[in-house]
Structure 1
């Protein structure tokens, strides 16, 4: 019996950060099934690769990672979390955000929290619903480090 590695789609517009993050994920035992650097490419890559999870830069040079996830969630549930270097990111409610710079321990924790969250929690992160409505990921994903933030 073969055990497939979880497939991750990485959305990052900074090539160096994307390469380093992909290497970290591979080193942790994940399969980076694809990468994208724009909003449009991330939506297309999600449909093409059908990953188990997406790690998404919230603010892309060409588009928005948040908007890309909203588009993807209209058609399918997708486990995901956002990464951002913004000091005070403008993000929808009820999502997990990993702030840059982060280390391997924070990345591992964010991956664990996202994979352990109920699928219906991940499907509710469209940001279109007001804070407090729908499932509350804070109950399912309690952050252990200050770089991991759950927007409420």
Structure 2
């Protein structure tokens, strides 16, 4: 399976602008720029997209872990907070902090913790990130 997205940039790093388009159409000439990345101008940025990918990947991986163990979650809600920090002359993503709130009827805390940990380690986005990954998982049922 191959998934594709394209970036187009016009101008300098600080004053230029770009747009992102994915084959699925979810991103369609979506704007990004220095101001959307390092300030608060509307648009997206690579770190936000990585956070969305990590939250989505982990949550789906956990749903599969739970299904295999015989559980059906009522809701899995995950936030991924990606940290971008200075690294020499450039920047690096140093951390992705996953925060999960889960409503899974019938599961005990130990089994939930084990399955959530397996999902975090097995998620393809976790595997590709060269960053510290943390997981704070709360079971509400």
Which category describes the TM-score, using the shorter chain as reference length?
under 0.3
**Greater Rg by CA:** 2
Q: Which one has the bigger strand percentage?
A: 2
TM-score (norm 2): 0.28
TM-score (norm 1): 0.26
